Amino acid sequence: MDSFSGVAEDDGELFVPLAGMDGMDQRIIDHAETLVDWSAQIESGDNVVVHVDEGAHDLAVAVAEQLGERGANVVTRYSSPEVDGAYLRASDGAFADNPSFEYDLYVQADSVLSLRGTRNTAEQADIPDEITDAYQQSRMEIREARYDTDWVSTVHPTRALAQQAGMSYGAYCDFVYDAILRDWEALAEEMAQLKDLLDAGSEVRLVKETDRTDLTMSIEGRTAVNSAASVAYDSHNLPSGEVFTAPADTAGTVTFDVPMTIRGTTFRDVTLTFKDGVVVDWEAAEGEETLTSIIETDGGSRQLGELGIGMNRGIDRITDQILFDEKMGGTVHLALGRAYDACLPEGETGNESAVHVDMITDMRMDGTRLEIDGEVVQRDGIFRWEEEFDGS
Amino acid sequence: MDSFSGVAEDDGELFVPLAGMDGMDQRIIDHAETLVDWSAQIESGDNVVVHVDEGAHDLAVAVAEQLGERGANVVTRYSSPEVDGAYLRASDGAFADNPSFEYDLYVQADSVLSLRGTRNTAEQADIPDEITDAYQQSRMEIREARYDTDWVSTVHPTRALAQQAGMSYGAYCDFVYDAILRDWEALAEEMAQLKDLLDAGSEVRLVKETDRTDLTMSIEGRTAVNSAASVAYDSHNLPSGEVFTAPADTAGTVTFDVPMTIRGTTFRDVTLTFKDGVVVDWEAAEGEETLTSIIETDGGSRQLGELGIGMNRGIDRITDQILFDEKMGGTVHLALGRAYDACLPEGETGNESAVHVDMITDMRMDGTRLEIDGEVVQRDGIFRWEEEFDGS
| Residue B68 reports pLDDT greater than 70 | yes
8 Å CB contact of B76 and A77: yes
User: Which of the residue ranges B104-108, B298-302, B388-392 would you say has the lowest mean pLDDT?
Assistant: B388-392
Task: Say how far apart CA A265 and CA A292 lie, in whole Å.
Answer: 12
Whether the per-residue pLDDT at A114 is higher than 60: the answer is yes
pLDDT, tens only, A51-102 = 999 999 999 999 999 999 999 999 999 999 999 999 999 999 999 999 999 9
Q: Quick check: B57 contacting A, CB < 8 Å?
A: yes
Closest by Cα among B99, B109, B111, B68 to A102:
B109
Chain B partners within 8 Å of A142 (Cβ):
none
A71 with B54: Cβ contact below 8 A: no
Distance from CA of B297 to the nearest CA of A (A): 30
Summarize the confidence of residues B304-328 as an average pLDDT: 95
| Rounded Cα–Cα distance for residues A87 and B63 (Å) | 8
**What ipTM does this complex have?**
0.86
* Mean pLDDT for the stretch of residues A223-250: 96
Give residue B73's region: left, alpha or beta (phi > 0; psi -120 to 50).
beta
B82 at the A interface (CB within 8 A)? yes
In a domain, B103, yes or no: yes
A47 reaches B (C-beta below 8 A): yes
Contact with chain B for residue A67, Cβ under 8 A:
yes
**In B, which residues are within 8 Å of A99 by CB distance?**
47, 73
Q: Would you call B64 and A90 a contact, using CB atoms and an 8 Å cutoff?
A: yes
Distance CA A328, CA A363 (A): 10
Cβ contact A77–B80 (<8 Å): no
Sign for the CA dihedral angle at B368, B372, B374, B375 comes to negative
Determine, yes or no, domain membership for B98: yes
Is B67 in Cβ contact with A87 (below 8 Å)?
A: yes
Residue B200 lies in a domain: yes
Model confidence at B22, in pLDDT bands (50, 70, 90)?
Answer: low
Residue A270 is predicted with a pLDDT of 97
User: Which pLDDT score is estimated for B338?
Assistant: 93
Same-domain status, B358 and B281: yes
What's the mean pLDDT in A106-135? 93
Q: pLDDT value at position B218?
A: 97
A75 and chain B: CB distance < 8 Å anywhere? yes
Residues B154 and B45 in one domain: yes
Residues B232 and B367 in one domain: yes
Q: CB-CB: which of A47, A60, A89 is closest to B83?
A: A60
Residue A54 distance to chain B (closest CA, Å): 9
Contact B42/A at CB under 8 A: no
Nearest chain B Cα to A82, which residue? B61
* Chain B nearest C-alpha distance from A48 (Å): 9
Shared-domain flag, residues A176 and A188: no
Contact list, A95 vs chain B (CB under 8 Å): 73
Q: Which of A24, A63, A73, A78 is the best mutation test for B, with the most CBs of B within 10 A?
A: A78
Q: Please tell me the distance from the alpha carbon of residue A19 to that of residue A4, in angstroms, as a whole number.
A: 18
Task: Show residues of chain B in contact with A108, CB under 8 Å.
Answer: 100-101, 104
Residue A207 and residue A152 share a domain = no
Averaged pLDDT for residues B299-307? 96
CA angle, A193 then A199 then A201, to 5°: 100
pLDDT on residue A21: 65
More confident residue, B40 or B126: B40
Could you tell me the pLDDT band of residue A212, with boundaries at 50, 70 and 90?
Answer: very high
Read off the pLDDT of residues A92-110 as tens digits, 9 standing for 90 and up. 999 999 999 999 999 999 9
Q: How much is the average pLDDT of A187-213?
A: 96
Residue B262's pLDDT band (cuts 50, 70, 90): confident
Cβ atoms within 10 Å, residue B332:
29
B92 interface with A at CB cutoff 8 Å = yes
Shared-domain flag, residues A207 and A176: no
A307 with A279: CB under 8 angstroms? no
Whether B114 has a pLDDT exceeding 70, the answer reads: yes
Residues in chain B within 8 Å Cβ distance of A94: 71
Whether A20 is covered by a domain: the verdict is no
- Answer whether residue B169 is part of any domain: yes
Report the DSSP beta bridge partners of residue B270. B256, B284
Subunit contact B64:A54, Cβ cutoff 8 A:
no
Give the one of A45, A91, A100 whose C-beta lies nearest to B108's C-beta. Answer: A100
φ, ψ at B62 (rounded to 5°): -65, -35
pLDDT at B311 over 60: yes
In a domain, A153, yes or no: yes
Inter-chain residue contact A90 with B65, CB threshold 8 Å: yes
Q: For the stretch A229-247, what's the b/e string if a residue is b when 16 or more beta carbons lie within 10 angstroms of its beta carbon?
A: bbbebebbbbbbbbbbbbb
Averaged pLDDT, B57-76? 98
| Cα diameter, chain B | 76
Contact status of B109 with chain A (Cβ, < 8 Å): yes
Any chain B CB within 8 A of the CB of A64?
A: yes
> What is the per-residue pLDDT for A22?
64
A96 touches B at CB < 8 Å: yes
Per-residue model confidence as pLDDT tens digits over B178-187: 999 999 999 9
pLDDT band at B347 (very low <50, low <70, confident <90, very high): confident
Is the pLDDT at A6 greater than 60, yes or no? no
The answer to whether the peptide bond before residue A239 is cis (omega within 30 degrees of 0) is yes
Do A173 and A231 belong together in one domain?
no
Spatial distance between the Cα atoms of A348 and A358, rounded to a whole number of angstroms: 22
A96 in Cβ contact with B73 (< 8 Å): yes
Helices (H), A225-384: 288-295, 322-325
Cβ–Cβ under 8 Å, residues B315 and B328: yes
Based on the fold, state whether residues A237 and A345 are members of the same structural domain: yes
- Single out the residue in A117, A145, A180 at which a domain terminates: A180
Whether B335 shows a pLDDT value over 90: the answer reads: yes
- Residue A208 shares a structural domain with residue A297: yes
Contacts of B45 in chain A (CB under 8 A): 96
- Which band of pLDDT confidence, cut at 50, 70 and 90, is reported for residue B229? very high
A267 and A351 assigned to the same domain? yes
pLDDT digits (tens, 9 = 90+) for A365-389: 999 999 999 999 999 999 999 999 9
A&B contacts, CB < 8 Å: 141
Contact A319, A331 (CB under 8 A): no
Residue A74's domain spans which residues?
Answer: 26-180
| pLDDT given at position B11 | 39
Quick check: A64 and B83 CB within 8 A? yes
CB A365 within 8 A of CB A213: no
Tens-digit pLDDT profile for residues B26-61: 999 999 999 999 999 999 999 999 999 999 999 999
Share of chain A above pLDDT 90, in %: 84
Domain match, A133 and A279 both: no
Count of structural domains, chain B: 2
pLDDT in the model for residue B390: 86
Query: Looking at A199-203, A276-280, B22-26, which range is the least confident one?
Result: B22-26
Q: pLDDT digit string (tens) for B146-190? A: 999 999 999 999 999 999 999 999 999 999 999 999 999 999 999
A226 domain residue, yes or no: yes
**Residue A75: which of B80, B89, B101 has the nearest Cβ?**
B101
Q: Domain holding A37: CATH number?
A: 3.40.1830.10
Q: Is the Cβ of B61 closer than 8 Å to some Cβ of chain A?
A: yes
Nearest to A250 by CA among A222, A225, A214, A283: A214
Instruction: Sort out which chain A residues have CB atoms less than 8 A from B77's CB and list them.
Output: 75-78
CB contact under 8 A, B71 and A91: yes
Q: Are B176 and B192 members of one domain?
A: no
Q: Residue B67's closest chain A neighbor by CA?
A: A87
Last residue of a domain, one of A130, A146, A180: A180
* pLDDT exceeds cutoff 90 at A20: no
Q: Say what the pLDDT of residue B373 is.
A: 98
From A149, A180, A211, give the residue that closes a domain: A180
Rounded to an integer, the average pLDDT of A280-304 is 95
Average pLDDT value for residue range B241-269:
94
Specify the pLDDT at position A265. 87
Residue A300, pLDDT score: 94
- Per-residue model confidence (pLDDT) at position B8: 36
Residue from the list A65, A89, A104 with its beta carbon closest to the beta carbon of B87: A65
> Residue A36: pLDDT above 60?
yes
Interface contact A158, partner B, CB < 8 A:
no
Q: Is B148 on the interface with A (CB under 8 A)?
A: no
* Chain mean pLDDT for chain B: 92
- Report the alpha-carbon distance of residue B273 to residue B283 in Å, rounded: 9
- pLDDT band with cut points at 50, 70 and 90 for residue A7: very low
Has residue B21 been placed in a domain?
A: no
- What is the pLDDT averaged over residues A241-251? 97
Of B64, B87, B101, nearest to A68 by CB-CB distance is B87
Tell me the chain A residues in contact with residue B87 when contact means C-beta distances shorter than 8 Å: 64-65, 67-68, 74
How much is the mean pLDDT over chain A?
92
What pLDDT sits at residue B133? 87
Q: How confident is the model at residue A361 (pLDDT cuts 50, 70, 90)?
A: very high
| High-pLDDT (> 70) share of chain A, % | 94
A377 residue type, one letter: V
- Chain B CB contacts of A57 under 8 Å are 54, 80, 82-83
pLDDT value of residue B21: 65
Give the chain B residue whose CA is nearest to the CA of A48.
B101
| CB pair distance less than 8 Å for A64 and B84 | yes
* CA pair distance B149, B137, nearest whole angstrom: 20
Q: Do B111 and B49 meet the contact criterion of CB atoms below 8 Å apart?
A: yes
The answer to whether B125 contacts chain A (CB < 8 Å) is no
pLDDT of residue A166 exceeding 60, the answer is yes
Q: Are residues B19 and B29 in contact, defined by beta-carbon separation less than 8 angstroms?
A: yes
